[in-house]
């Protein structure tokens, strides 16, 4: 079987799905290939913080109806250390900007439903996905779908297949530069059936390690604990998790964590990673396929959104005027924001975690940075500006 869309999109994560919508709004035809089933994609628990610009874009695209109904707008976050909480008033410090708490898999459900309703093509359960001739003007994607061998011939390929996808490897090693860092800790993430313990997210630094209190809905809470990256989730009983959360979040005024049944738990690795360039011939990488940030700054999904917004604009200019100038500078355009988010995520991570081999000096540095961030409006404003997200074209 043969297909000939303008753009072949590999991966139905936030990057691939939003790109298909943005292209459709410009009259550009695409096919999305996804190796997993729709049910699996819609059930994968990831982060839940949408930057101001991400929220605006989803709303402007007509994709934000349920997000605006069910999501929660937050105007601040708390940094907690030495038994005390300090509010960073995000909205006050950023000229009225805010964040939206709305889980990534809910965004995906909305994007998939809207795309299929509009007659868009998303092929789930695609296997043996291979890229061909990416340096030519007619690249192709070969894959198996519903037991048929499919050949998709297109003008451009968007590699939106995440960190473990196949697209990145189509950029020859000789032209790739990879920058990366792994951290000597992971995050143990849980979902708990309980009411929220706080109105805003809490990022806590403690002697015992980092803890984060986030939320999913009035009935479901998301929390994380810094842990050994090699640890296995089977080593953590629910009681141990609760005890550790309570210990790391304890305040001198006896703040109480509201608890309930833990319905999901897993350990995730933390890494920073960037590949340059993000393009080769007619292949353009977007989202996690090109870069990873540790989740401390909640930037992963938002960076994917910014990439595909640039890519869609560049492709729109190509199809309307045959101009390639935005395509040519795609990597450069994306990387300014990517490296800003890499720095911010690394900085938040470094400030808030216990490093296993750290000495008294290192810990003093962290405390001083925390203290400065909560006491100086200028330092707090820098955190806030990055957290709510810089404008797309800053
Ligand atoms: N063929 C087709 N699809 C693939 C392949 C492949 N060979 N390999 C991976 N995929 C799919 C994955 O199953 C996944 O659904 O590509 C999709 C990639 O989605 P994400 O990993 O979510 O990546 P991205 O869309 O870039 O989203 C950015 O931000 O919050 C962070 O990491 C989080 O997922 C989030 C990311
Ligand atoms: C989440 O809700 O999953 C979440 C929130 C903030 C982060 C990371 C994850 O920094």
> What separation in Å is there between the alpha carbon of 275 and the centre of ligand 1?
16
Cα gap 167→307, rounded to integer Å: 15
For residue 318, what pLDDT band results from cuts at 50, 70 and 90? very high
Angle at 90 between CA 86 and CA 93, to 5 degrees: 105
DSSP structural state of residue 235: G
Report yes or no: 10 and 161 within 8 Å, Cβ to Cβ: yes
pLDDT in tens, 350-361: 999 999 989 999
Structure token pair of residue 248: 């790391």
Ligand nearest to the CA of 300: 1
Question: For residue range 288-312, what is the model confidence (pLDDT) as tens digits?
Answer: 999 999 999 999 999 999 999 999 9
The ligand 2 atom at the shortest distance from the C-alpha of residue 222 is 2
Q: How far apart are CA 66 and CA 45, in angstroms?
A: 18
Counting residues of the chain whose pLDDT is more than 70, the rounded percentage is 100
Tens digits of residue pLDDT in 226-274: 999 999 999 999 999 999 999 999 999 999 999 999 999 999 999 999 9
Question: Is 208 within 8 Å of 248 (Cβ atoms)?
Answer: yes
Q: Report the pLDDT value the prediction gives residue 88, as an integer from 0 to 100.
A: 98
Mean pLDDT, rounded, for 314-342: 98
Q: What is the pLDDT of residues 141-173, one digit of tens each?
A: 999 999 999 999 999 999 999 999 999 999 999
Q: Is any ligand 1 atom within 6 A of the Cβ of residue 304? A: yes
- pLDDT bracket for residue 191 (50, 70, 90): very high
- pTM beyond 0.85, yes or no: yes
Burial 299-324 (b: 16+ CB within 10 A, else e): bbbbbbbbbbbbbbbbbbbbbeeeee
Would you say residue 317 has pLDDT above 90?
Answer: yes
Nearest residue by C-alpha to atom 1 in ligand 1: 35
Predicted confidence at residue 319, as pLDDT, reads: 98
2-36 pLDDT, tens digit each:
999 999 999 999 999 999 999 999 999 999 999 99
33 C-beta closer than 6 A to ligand 1: yes
Which residues belong to the active site? 74, 203, 295, 299, 387
Helix (H, G, I), strand (E, B) or coil at 325: helix
CA distance 306 to 319: 20
Q: Which residues contact ligand 2 via a Cβ below 6 A? A: 47-49, 201, 212, 214, 222, 295-296, 298
Count of CB atoms situated within 10 Å of the CB of 207: 10
Q: What is the mean pLDDT of residues 181-187?
A: 97
Distance 88 CA to ligand 2 centre (A): 16
Sign, CA torsion 303/221/207/266: negative
State the average pLDDT for the chain.
Answer: 97
Residues listed for the chain: 394
**pLDDT per residue as tens digits for the range 55-108:** 999 999 999 999 999 999 999 999 999 999 999 999 999 999 999 999 999 999
Banded model confidence at residue 45, pLDDT cuts 50, 70, 90 = confident
> Are 139 and 282 contacting, i.e. CB atoms less than 8 angstroms apart?
yes
Residue 323 predicted with pLDDT over 90: yes
* Residues 6+ away with beta carbon under 8 Å from 332: none
Banded pLDDT at 377 (limits 50, 70, 90): very high
User: Which atom of ligand 2 is closest in space to residue 214's alpha carbon?
Assistant: 2
Q: Which of 104, 106, 264, 298 for a ligand 2 pocket mutation test, highest count of atoms within 8 Å of Cβ?
A: 298
For ligand 2, mutation pick of 51, 99, 190, 212 (most atoms within 8 Å of CB): 212
Name the one residue in this structure whose structure tokens are 């630094």. 205
Place of tokens 């400065």: 372
Closest CA to 63 of 28, 97, 8, 24: 24
Distance of CA 191 to the CA centre of its chain: 18
Q: How far is the CA of 86 from the centre of ligand 1 (A)?
A: 35
Pairwise pLDDT comparison (47 vs 307), residue with the higher score: 307
HSE (side-chain half, CA atoms, 13 Å) at 351: 22
With a CB cutoff of 8 Å and minimum separation 6, the contacts of 104 are: 14, 44, 46, 47, 48, 301
User: Which residue(s) pair with 271 in the sheet?
Assistant: 182
| Integer Cα distance of 367 and 18 in angstroms | 40
């Amino acid at each position: 079987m043969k297909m000939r869309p303008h753009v072949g999109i590999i991966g139905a994560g936030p990057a691939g799905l939003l790109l298909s919508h943005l292209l459709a709004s410009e009259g550009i035809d695409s096919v999305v290939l996804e190796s997993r089933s729709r049910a699996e994609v819609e059930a994968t628990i990831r982060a839940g913080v949408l930057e101001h610009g991400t929220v605006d874009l989803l709303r402007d695209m007509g994709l934000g109806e349920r997000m605006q109904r069910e999501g929660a707008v937050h105007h601040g976050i708390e940094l907690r250390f030495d038994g005390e909480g300090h509010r960073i008033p995000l909205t006050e410090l950023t000229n009225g900007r805010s964040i939206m708490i709305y889980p990534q898999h809910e965004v995906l459900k909305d994007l998939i439903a809207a795309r299929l309703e509009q007659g868009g093509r998303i092929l789930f359960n695609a296997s043996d996905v291979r890229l061909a001739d990416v340096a030519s003007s007619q690249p192709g994607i070969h894959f198996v779908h519903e037991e048929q061998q499919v050949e998709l011939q297109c003008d451009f390929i968007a590699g939106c297949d995440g960190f473990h996808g196949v697209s990145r490897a189509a950029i020859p090693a000789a032209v790739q530069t990879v920058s990366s860092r792994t951290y000597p800790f992971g995050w143990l993430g849980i979902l708990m059936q309980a009411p929220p313990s706080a109105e805003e997210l809490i990022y806590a630094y403690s002697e015992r390690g980092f803890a984060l209190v986030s939320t999913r809905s009035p009935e479901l809470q998301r929390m994380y604990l810094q842990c050994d990256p090699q640890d296995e989730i089977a080593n953590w009983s629910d009681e141990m998790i609760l005890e550790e959360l309570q210990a790391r979040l304890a305040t001198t005024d006896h703040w109480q964590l509201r608890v309930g049944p833990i319905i999901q738990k897993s350990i995730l690795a933390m890494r920073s990673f960037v590949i340059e360039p993000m393009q080769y011939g007619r292949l353009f990488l977007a989202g996690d396929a090109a870069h990873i940030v540790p989740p401390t700054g909640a930037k992963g999904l938002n960076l994917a959104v910014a990439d595909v917004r640039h890519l869609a604009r560049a492709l729109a200019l190509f199809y309307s005027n045959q101009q390639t100038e935005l395509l040519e500078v795609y990597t450069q355009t994306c990387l300014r924001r990517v490296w800003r988010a890499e720095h911010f995520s690394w900085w938040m991570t470094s400030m808030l975690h216990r490093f296993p081999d750290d000495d008294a000096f290192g810990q003093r540095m962290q405390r001083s940075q925390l203290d400065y961030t909560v006491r100086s409006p200028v330092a707090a404003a820098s955190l806030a500006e990055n957290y709510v997200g810089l404008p797309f074209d800053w």
